[in-house]
Amino acid sequence: MPVCTPSRVAFLSGRHPLRTGMQGYPLKAAEPRGLHLNDTLLPEYLRKLGYTTHLLGKWHVGYLTRNYVPTRRGFDTFLGYFNGVIQYFNHTIEENEQVGYDLHRIVGDNHTVEYRYDYMTNLITEEAENIISSHNTEKPMYLQLAHLASHASNAEEAMEVYDWEETNATLGYIQDVNRRKFASVVTTLDKSIGRVVDALNKKDMLKNTIILFISDNGAQTEGPLYQNFGSNYPLRGLKFSLYEGGVRGAACIYSPLIENSSKVSTQLFHITDWLPTLYSAAGGNSSDLYQLDGIDQWSTIKTQEASKRKSVVINIEDVDYSAALMGRYKLIQDKSDFQKHYTNYKGNDPSYPKYNVTNILESPAASAIANISNHIVTANKIEELRKEATVVCENLMTSDCESRTCLFDIYEDPCEVTDISSQYPEVRLNQNRKIRNI
């Protein structure tokens, strides 16, 4: 995601608008509720700093009245869909045996339905390129891409690939056809990001941009509603669970402002931190913000200061489905059906082609950044960072946390294998007290 000080552009790629603040089951189609109108969102704060603001893709925090839509919540323009998921090509949503069309363009208060048959990933990409090429660079810009990819749809083919011929030609070595589809959808997303970064470079904006690429949750391997055959290996669990496979997000941030770049960070960071962090990076004073759960961590990103966040409440919906991180310890009780390690989706079959670092260095995104950067990233450095970022767990035998509350040392045991609650009863007791007092 990018955000920058005034005169810098902001480009966020992920799937959910920042600061959703809605607990419980996601909004259903036409459900008459939404994110509270008293909540101020990141783009509203950025507009006060002079930013133009644009959202492409998913909204999914309510459209009960005009006041709930993106352009009444801080965005100047919006092209995308209101609900949780749509089909990639025809942009329909099916729920409760009803089918609706969900692709909208809003500029200010001018709201039209956008009837197009186009692959959603490419549609978002083309719109982003148009916004960037026509942008007046005298003003800073915040551009958020909330991609549909790599979410499954409710089409007959849940993972809708853009080009089957190309998919089979380039990814045919993946024997599991469902995994091949998933890889294809992600590959198209990769190309999208490359095109957007290249567009920023061509507009001479990249040297003043912060780019954040972030996932909103772990992969959905299986499930009652959707399954996209994604993998969180070797982490335990998946989307909808409270294990690391469901709640540990992957992110990558780029900015010329970052000192000592090309590094892996394992410091604690919560999604609510992005609002004050990016507002601070954009030139705002985070102390002006009020009633936020988030913490300004721009200095942590920029200079590698120690993270100011020491704990995260993951969920306190009920006694049987709760978790929290306090320092290195994670307390969890999760009675869901999605606790296991998905070892059949390792993604590292020895028959697969070797990781090609040259393709990374020659990719559109890498080439665009190299064009304006004095920092040189070598193939050896990429391999080193990739190894450092890889989670390795030798034993994936699972502790039962359905009938009891478990305690894990998340730094020593990221795969949540060994319940240490009996070894550290005082830690478990203190963690429980802290959660109940929140």
Would you state the pLDDT for residue 67? Answer: 97
Q: Which of 18-27, 40-49, 57-66, 366-375 has the lowest mean pLDDT?
A: 18-27
Contact 78, 55 (CB under 8 A): yes
Beta pairing class for 92-95 and 104-107: unpaired
Q: Do 52 and 78 form a contact (C-beta atoms < 8 A)?
A: no
Give yes or no: 341 in active site.
no
Residue 438 confidence (pLDDT) above 60: no
Residue 26 in contact with residue 225, Cβ under 8 Å? Answer: no
How is domain 4-215+250-310+357-389 classified at the architecture level of CATH?
Answer: 3-Layer(aba) Sandwich (3.40)
The pLDDT of 164-178, averaged and rounded, is 95
Strand partners of residue 341: 236
CB 83 within 8 A of CB 61: no
pLDDT above 90 covers what percent of the chain?
70
**Domain locations in the chain as residue ranges:** 4-215+250-310+357-389
Q: Count other C-beta atoms under 10 Å from residue 9's C-beta.
A: 25
Active site residue 401: no
Q: 367-401: per-residue pLDDT in tens?
A: 999 999 888 899 999 999 999 999 999 888 877 78
Q: What is the mean pLDDT of the chain?
A: 89
- Amino acid identity of 72? R
Q: Residue 97's pLDDT is what?
A: 86
pLDDT of residue 3: 32
Using pLDDT thresholds of 50, 70 and 90, give the confidence band for residue 348: confident
pTM metric for this prediction:
0.92
- Identify which of 195, 106, 183 has the alpha carbon closest to the alpha carbon of residue 345: 183
Other CB atoms within 10 A of residue 4 CB: 25
User: Residue 18: pLDDT band by 50, 70, 90 thresholds?
Assistant: very low
User: Helices (DSSP H) in 139-176: which residue ranges?
Assistant: 164-171
- At residue 105, φ and ψ (nearest 5 deg) are -120, 125
The answer to whether the CB of 142 falls within 8 A of the CB of 41 is no
SS3 315: strand
398: helix, coil or strand? coil
By 3-state DSSP, what share of the chain in percent is helix, strand and coil, each rounded to 5? 30, 15, 55
* Catalytic residue of the set 16, 36, 54, 60: 60
What are the residues whose beta carbons fall under 8 Å from the beta carbon of 196, sequence distance 6 or more?
Answer: 11, 13, 125, 128, 129, 132, 145
- Cβ atoms within 10 A of the Cβ of 246, count? 26
Q: Which residues pair with 10 in a beta bridge?
A: 142, 210
- Per-residue model confidence (pLDDT) at position 8: 42
The alpha helices in 7-99, defined as continuous H runs, are 42-48
* Confidence (pLDDT) at 279: 97
The distance in angstroms from the start CA to the end CA of the chain is: 30
On the question of pLDDT at 154 being above 70, the answer is yes
Instruction: Look at residue 54 in the predicted model and tell me its pLDDT.
Output: 98
Whole-angstrom Cα distance, residue 346 to residue 231? Answer: 7
Q: Which of 176, 314, 302 is nearest to 240 (CA)?
A: 314
Strand ranges for 134-183 from DSSP E? 141-146
Q: What pLDDT, in 10s, does the model give residues 186-239?
A: 999 999 999 999 999 999 999 999 999 999 899 998 877 788 899 999 999 998
Q: What is the pLDDT of residues 290-301, one digit of tens each?
A: 889 999 999 999
Sheet strands (E) in 67-199: 77-81, 92-95, 98-101, 104-107, 110-113, 141-146
Per-residue confidence (pLDDT) for residue 401, from 0 to 100: 80
Q: What is the pLDDT of residue 17?
A: 43
Left, alpha or beta for 106 (phi > 0: left; psi -120 to 50: alpha)? beta
86 falls in which pLDDT band (50, 70, 90)?
A: very high
pLDDT greater than 50 at residue 413: yes
Which residues, other chains included, contact 78 with Cβ-Cβ below 8 Å and sequence gap of 6+? 54, 55, 56, 59, 69, 70, 71, 104, 105, 106
